[in-house]
Amino acid sequence: MSSELSIKDLKVNIEGKQILKGINLDVKQGEIHAIMGPNGSGKSTLSYSLMGHPKYQITGGEVKVDGTDVLSLTPDKRAKLGLFLGFQYPVEIPGVRLGNFLRIAYNAVHSDNQLSPTKFFRLLKEKVNALGIDENFIGRSLNEGFSGGEKKRAEVLQMAVLQPRFAILDETDSGLDIDSLKVVANAINTMAGPDVGLILVTHYQRLLQYITPQFVHVVVDGRIVKSGGKELAKELEEKGYDWLREPAITN
Amino acid sequence: MSTNEIIDRDYSRYGFHDADAKYVFQTQKGLSRDVVQAISKFKKEPQWMTDFRLRSLDIFLKKPMPDWGSPMLGDVDFNDIFYYMAPTERGSDKWEDVPAYIKDTFDKLGIPEAEKKFLGGVGAQYDSEVVYHKIRDDLQKKGVIFLGTDQGLQEHPEIFKEYFGTVIPPEDNKLAALNSAVWSGGSFIYVPKGVEVDIPLQAYFRINAKNAGQFERTLIIADEGSKVHYIEGCTAPIYSSDSLHSAVVEIIAKKGAYVRYTTIQNWSNNVYNLVTKRAYAYEGATVEWVDGNIGSKLTMKYPSVYLLGKGAKGEVISIAFAGKGQHQDAGAKIFHFAEDTTSRITSKSVSKDGGRTTYRGQLHIERGALNSKSSVRCDALLVDEKSRTDTYPYNTINEESASTTHEATVGKISEEQLFYLMSRGLSEADALNMIVMGFLDVFSKELPMEYAVELNRLIQLEMTGSVG
């Protein structure tokens, strides 16, 4: 049976200011959803709130995975439940080697099916090769001195290794040149499949030239103002967001 | 949570003590000429050593305490310490000969096992005396000497007398004078010309008795073109009153020799750890201090290298971890006295729960030490707002052709780093630990694997209780 991530009327404040004003969204394993919207609409807030960043204060609504409440859990418990966040700006953690870190993370997330170092590194190598990533990555300090493209690739690699049920990829396409974008998009496509529900959060349509979502949602001013199929993304590219903004305000 | 609970948990593996320890000889509490003479007499030392000790005592009594460093230094009560406690008549190279309760102690600490697995030689000191010393046969056949320092004096008096006290004379500082007066135990190592000792030699120092002082004296001589790596570990049980550890370590690296000295000190939080360590590096020689300071109440320790010959190299890599009530005042000293010499100092410190770390470093480049190069880097990590760190670099660069760099940073663990790691499934405690271990990575990657694993475990223990 496939799992479902269900977001109902989610309201979130940052430092007392309301950013999300009631988000509703259901994502099933195997689906690809794109969340689009102008800057400042609350897209990243949605990403961080789903993963449990302490700065984001939940003021209403609920988030559940197959009926299990997510919002009361710390980020590590959410990861164990099968959530993953691909960061827009992954933070550097000096001296922590990507490979070792991922092994500990893997065994934390899959605590009932832990892998020995040998088995884990076999899995890691397999993923690294499948995603077309340089093997040297494994021994490098986590995100330290990584280029923009390398950081995003490392995020996708982590997703591939940790095998979440639901992955939120926050602005994964930002700051990438066209070659890096293709590599990252290709990696995401390799990952996509019946076992993962993907939420691609993006400002531009260009990532969606390489990855085809079944659903596109537009967030404006803290609400989903329009949902549709992949053709909606094209329409947004042509018309921009303003035509959606007006009704949201007058309503 | 009370301090006691934290300490008990942190040192669960080391905090035990032997209630039934028996001492074949011990001096009365406090320090006097009689005490010093009694130690020397019990050890059946030659007259020159008795004289050396008495002269050192006079120097100790005359010299003031250092007026710099930690204010905690003033709390040391030199009259409340047993200066000499001998658990056995004589050290042995047979494990069976070691008294059972001491064997138990070192068994618990994993020493005999480590010897079997990855060491070329092992020494074990219990309070004042070395109780066990053993070196691999093939190394012995090549002429490598690895003995307790007292045995070194008895069995190799010529080598001993030539070098003992030459790198750190008793006049050097008050605590070196104290050690010189009452020293006992430590390691004596001599590596002959051209001999390379391919796996580490290790000594383990254990303070067991309450109010005990441990004053080991280590002397390492690496003859021309030789190579050796010496490791020492140290622990003590928890008592309510303080102990004193005041060692002197002298290293002589002759032309082209390589010496690495690795310490992981994990004294309990009631030990004053006041140590003088210095090395002479002659032409083309390399000396490296790899110095880890986790435990103790107060540590004041600045391993130093005197670069005396052309092309000599000195390196100090150190870490200090200060928790509640601890002050780690540590650093390094490098003196460039010859041309084309190079040095590097890397220091990392972590402070938590109100602990205090101080980096204190001295870099001196003598006029005429042409083309000397030195780089100094010290980074401090503060785990919380209560903790403190300071940096005191003292530089005297008297040679224009020298090039030096100095970098210092103070960092905090950021919410973003914690969130990032937790979002991947790590608990808050594991995430904190990982960030700290990553910060210390430049140090731990220098350790043999077994020690790196142990260090990781110790840091993990120290980090528990910092969440929430």
Q: List the single residue in A with minimal CA-CA distance to B414.
A: A91
**B181: nearest Cα among B77, B51, B24, B303:** B51
A–B interface: beta-carbon pairs under 8 A? 81
Question: According to the model, what pLDDT value does residue B14 have?
Answer: 66
Q: List the single residue in A with minimal CA-CA distance to B412.
A: A93
**B68: nearest Cα among B442, B448, B454, B392:** B392
Give the single-character DSSP code of B4: H
CA dist B70 and B48 (Å) reads 35
Question: According to the model, what pLDDT value does residue B438 have?
Answer: 94
Distance to chain A for B413, nearest Cα, Å: 10
Count the Cβ atoms, other than its own, within 10 Å of residue A6: 17
The answer to whether the CB atoms of B417 and A94 lie below 8 A apart is: no
Task: Report helix, strand or coil for B384.
Answer: coil
CA dist A31 and A3 (Å) reads 11
CA distances from B425 to A51, A66, B183, B433 (A): 11, 19, 51, 14
In this predicted structure, the answer to whether residue A18 has a pLDDT above a threshold of 50 is yes
**Residue whose tokens read 């204060």:** A57
The answer to whether the CB atoms of A109 and B428 lie below 8 A apart is: no
User: pLDDT tens-digit profile of A203-243?
Assistant: 878 888 899 999 999 999 999 999 999 888 888 888 888 88
What residues in B contact A78, CB-CB < 8 Å? 423
Question: According to the model, what pLDDT value does residue A183 have?
Answer: 85
Question: According to the model, what pLDDT value does residue B248 have?
Answer: 97
Residues 178-217 of A with CB under 8 A from B: none
Distance to chain B for A158, nearest Cα, Å: 9
Partners of B220 in the β-ladder: B189, B251
Distance to chain A for B363, nearest Cα, Å: 27
Question: According to the model, what pLDDT value does residue B70 have?
Answer: 87
Q: List the single residue in A with minimal CA-CA distance to B443.
A: A95
Distance to chain B for A242, nearest Cα, Å: 33
Pair of tokens at residue B275: 């140590």
Quick check: B276 and B168 in contact, CB under 8 A?
yes
User: pLDDT tens-digit profile of B31-87?
Assistant: 999 999 999 999 999 999 999 999 999 999 999 998 888 888 888 999 999 999 888
Quick check: B7 and B238 in contact, CB under 8 A?
yes
The answer to whether the CB atoms of B423 and A84 lie below 8 A apart is: yes
**B279: nearest Cα among B251, B321, B316:** B251
B427 touches chain A (CB under 8 A): yes
A105 touches chain B (CB under 8 A): yes
Phi-psi region of A215 (alpha: psi -120 to 50; beta: other; left: phi over 0): beta
CA dist A223 and A245 (Å) reads 11
A166 touches chain B (CB under 8 A): no
The answer to whether the CB atoms of A80 and B414 lie below 8 A apart is: no
The answer to whether the CB atoms of B426 and A87 lie below 8 A apart is: no
The answer to whether the CB atoms of B423 and A74 lie below 8 A apart is: no
The answer to whether the CB atoms of B425 and A79 lie below 8 A apart is: yes
Distance to chain B for A125, nearest Cα, Å: 19
The answer to whether the CB atoms of B425 and A108 lie below 8 A apart is: yes
Question: According to the model, what pLDDT value does residue B417 have?
Answer: 96
The answer to whether the CB atoms of A94 and B421 lie below 8 A apart is: no
Partners of A93 in the β-ladder: A142
Alpha-helix residue ranges (DSSP H) falling in B63-171: 100-108, 111-118, 137-141, 149-155, 157-163
Q: List the single residue in A with minimal CA-CA distance to B434.
A: A96
Mean per-residue pLDDT for A121-140?
A: 90
Q: Please indicate whether residue A184 or residue A32 has the higher confidence score (pLDDT).
A: A32
- Chain centroid offset of residue A130 CA: 20
The answer to whether the CB atoms of A54 and B426 lie below 8 A apart is: no
Contacts of B247 (CB under 8 A, 6+ apart): B179, B186, B214, B215, B216, B217, B218, B275, B276, B277
The answer to whether the CB atoms of B420 and A109 lie below 8 A apart is: no
Contacts of A195 (CB under 8 A, 6+ apart): A29, A30, A163, A165
What residues in A contact B419, CB-CB < 8 Å? 51-54, 75
Pair of tokens at residue A216: 């596109």
B411 touches chain A (CB under 8 A): no
- Amino acid of residue B333: K
In this predicted structure, the answer to whether residue A110 has a pLDDT above a threshold of 90 is yes
Question: According to the model, what pLDDT value does residue B17 have?
Answer: 73
* Chain A interface test: which of B416, B420, B437 (most A C-beta within 10 Å): B420
In this predicted structure, the answer to whether residue A66 has a pLDDT above a threshold of 80 is yes
Q: Longest Cα pair distance anywhere in chain A, in angstroms? A: 60
What residues in B contact A80, CB-CB < 8 Å? 425
B68 touches chain A (CB under 8 A): no
B409 touches chain A (CB under 8 A): no
- Of the partner residues B427, B428, B434, the one whose CB lies closest to the CB of residue A101: B434
DSSP E strands: which ranges in A66-154?
Answer: 68-69, 83-86, 93-97, 141-142
The answer to whether the CB atoms of A78 and B423 lie below 8 A apart is: yes
Give the single-character DSSP code of B211: T
The answer to whether the CB atoms of A95 and B437 lie below 8 A apart is: yes
In this predicted structure, the answer to whether residue A46 has a pLDDT above a threshold of 50 is yes
- The set of long-range contacts for A120-123, using a CB threshold of 8 Å and a minimum separation of 24, is A123/A161
A84 touches chain B (CB under 8 A): yes
- The set of long-range contacts for B448-457, using a CB threshold of 8 Å and a minimum separation of 24, is B448/B118, B448/B200, B448/B231, B448/B262, B450/B114, B450/B117, B450/B118, B451/B231, B451/B262, B451/B264, B454/B264, B455/B264, B455/B292, B455/B294
Q: What is the mean pLDDT of chain A?
A: 91
Distance to chain A for B383, nearest Cα, Å: 15
Q: List the single residue in B with minimal CA-CA distance to A74.
A: B422
Question: According to the model, what pLDDT value does residue B3 have?
Answer: 31
- Of the partner residues A85, A95, A109, the one whose CB lies closest to the CB of residue B438: A95
Mean per-residue pLDDT for A2-24?
A: 95
The answer to whether the CB atoms of B420 and A76 lie below 8 A apart is: no
Residues of chain B with confidence (pLDDT) below 70: 1-15, 19-20, 89, 465-468
What residues in A contact B426, CB-CB < 8 Å? 76, 104-105, 108
The answer to whether the CB atoms of B441 and A96 lie below 8 A apart is: yes
Residues 146-165 of A with CB under 8 A from B: 158, 162
Distance to chain A for B301, nearest Cα, Å: 25
B415 touches chain A (CB under 8 A): yes
User: pLDDT tens-digit profile of B201-243?
Assistant: 988 888 878 888 899 999 999 999 999 999 988 777 777 778 8
The answer to whether the CB atoms of A104 and B430 lie below 8 A apart is: yes
